[in-house]
Structure 1
C-alpha cells in the first residue's frame, strides 16, 4: 500500500517496507530468469555448434566421439582438452556436446509426440462427451497411476537400443497431462458464444473443433510441451544409464555417465563430473528459461 501527500506543487510518495521488499524480490527473480535464459541459450549453442566445428576444423580432438587414441586416454582437463579425455582418448568436450545434442533431440521429439497424442485424445474426449468422455478419462486416470519410470522400463525392455525407443517411451509416458489440459480447455471453449454460433450455422463437430477450438488451445499445449522438455532429458538419461535406452557406443548423457563409473575408480573424475554437471546446468537453466518464456506468453 502507498499514500500520497501533497507539499506545495510536489507529491511525496510514501512506500511501505512490504512494497520495497516485494519489488526487490521481483527484481531478483527477473534477474535470475534472465541469467537462466542466457545460460540456457549458451548450452544449446554449445550442443549444436561444437560437434560441427570440431568435425570441420579438427579442434578439440576432431571427430571426438569416434576417434580413439589410447595413448592420450584419461587425460585431465587442459587447454587442449577443456573437459579432459575418456579412457579411449576421446575428447570429452566434444563428446558431451554431442551427447547433449542427442538427449535434447530425443526429448524434443518425444515431447512433441506426447503433445500430439494428448491433444488428440483430450479434444476427442471433450467433443464426444457423455459416457465416452467418462470412460476415456477413467482410462487416463488408470494410465497416469502407473509410475512413468516403471512404464518406460517396460516399453524399453521390449523395444530397446535406439533413439526412437527413447522417443517412444517419452511419448507413451507423458501424454496424460496434456490430455487433461486439452479436455478442460475444449470444455470451456465450447460454451463460448462464437463456438455456439458456428454450431448453429451448421458446422460439424470436426470443423468447429479444427477451425475454432484447437487454434485457441495451441498456446496452452505449446506451454505444456516446452515445460516437459527438461523432464524428458532426465527421462532419457535415466533409461540409457540403466542400459535400456541408447546403446553404449552412441553418445548421450546417460551413456557417458554409465561409462564414467569405471573411469572414476581409476581417478578420472572429470569423465563423470562433465556430463553430470552439464545435465544439471542444462535442465535447470532450460527449465527456468522456458518458464520465463511461457510466463510472458501467458
Structure 2
C-alpha cells in the first residue's frame, strides 16, 4: 500500500513539474518577443542611423553585429527590423485567424452547399503558389506596410479553416449537441455553449502558429522587392542589401539578421507547440 502511495506521489510531482516547465518556457519565449518588440518600437532613430566614421566594421564589443557600408549599427537595425516584422505579423495573423474561424464555422454549420463553396475556396487558395499570390496581392495593394499586411492576411487562412471546419463537424455530430437540437436550442445558443468553448484552444494555437509564417513571408517578399520600402529597417531589406557585400567578406551583414529571424520564428513555434500541449485535454495531464 505504501509503495502505491509513493508511486502516486512521484507521478503527481512529475506532472506538476512538467506543467510548470511548460508554462515557464512559454513565459520566457513571450518575454523575449515582447522585449524585442518594445525595445524596437521605442528605439531612437540615431541608434540605427548612419555614421560614416565607423562603416564596414566587423563584430566587436562596441558593435556586436558589426556595421554596414553606411556605418549603421547592425544590432540596432536588426532589433528594429524584428520589431517591425512582429508588429506586421501580429496584425496579419490576427486578421487571418479571424477569417479562418468565421469561414471554418460557416463551412461546418451552413449545410452542404455552404461547405462546398468554402471548401472550393480553400482548395483554390492552396492550389496557387503561396509566395506568388502574396507578391501579387501586395503589389496590387501598393506594397508597403499596408500591402504586406493585406497580402499575408488574405493568404494564410486556408489551413486553419480546414482544422476548424473538421472540429465543427465533429462537435456537431456529438450526442450532447444533438440533444440540444432536440431540446429546441437555436444555432446561436449551440455555437455559444458548445462550439466556441471547444474551438477556443484550436483558434489560439492556430493564431500563434500563424505568426512564424507571416513573419517569414513578410521578410521573403520584402527581400524580393515586393514588400516594405527600402528606407525601413526591416529584416527583408537588411538581407537584400547584404547580398551585394557578401563577396567582399562582410558576412556579418546577412548572418546575424538571418540568425535572429530564425530565432524569432523558432520562439513562436515553441510557444505554439507548448500551448498545444497545455490546452490539449489528452496531453495536458500526462
TM normalised by structure 2 equals 0.82
C-alpha deviation, 1:115, in angstroms: 0.8
Closer/same/farther in 2, CA of residues 284 and 165 from structure 1, 3 Å limit: same
**Cross-structure match for 1:218:** 200
Q: Distance in 1 between matches of 2:42 and 2:126?
A: 43
**Cross-structure match for 2:36:** 47
C-alpha deviation, 1:160, in angstroms: 3.3
Q: Distance in 2 between matches of 1:43 and 1:115?
A: 23
C-alpha deviation, 1:103, in angstroms: 0.9
Counterpart pick for 1:155 among 127, 134, 137 = 137
The structure that is strand-richer by fraction is: 1
C-alpha deviation, 1:264, in angstroms: 2.4
Secondary structure at the residue paired with 1:77? Answer: coil
Structure 2, unaligned stretches of length 5 or more? 5-18, 281-286
CA contact (8 A) 1:51 1:63 kept: no
**Cross-structure match for 2:161:** 179
Counterpart pick for 2:256 among 274, 280, 287 = 274
Count of residue pairs the alignment pairs up: 268
C-alpha deviation, 1:201, in angstroms: 4.5
Secondary structure at the residue paired with 2:230? Answer: coil
CA contact (8 A) 1:160 1:244 kept: no
CA RMSD of aligned residues (A): 3.0
- CA deviation string 1:67-87 (max 9, x = no partner): 222222222222221111121
Closer/same/farther in 2, CA of residues 74 and 50 from structure 1, 3 Å limit: farther
Q: Distance in 1 between matches of 2:175 and 2:29?
A: 42
Q: Distance in 1 between matches of 2:104 and 2:23?
A: 34
Closer/same/farther in 2, CA of residues 212 and 107 from structure 1, 3 Å limit: same
C-alpha deviation, 1:212, in angstroms: 3.3
Q: Distance in 1 between matches of 2:143 and 2:113?
A: 40
**Cross-structure match for 2:78:** 96
Closer/same/farther in 2, CA of residues 10 and 217 from structure 1, 3 Å limit: closer
Aligned counterparts, 1:225-264, within 5 A: 225-264=207-246
Q: Is 1:75–2:57 an aligned residue pair?
A: yes
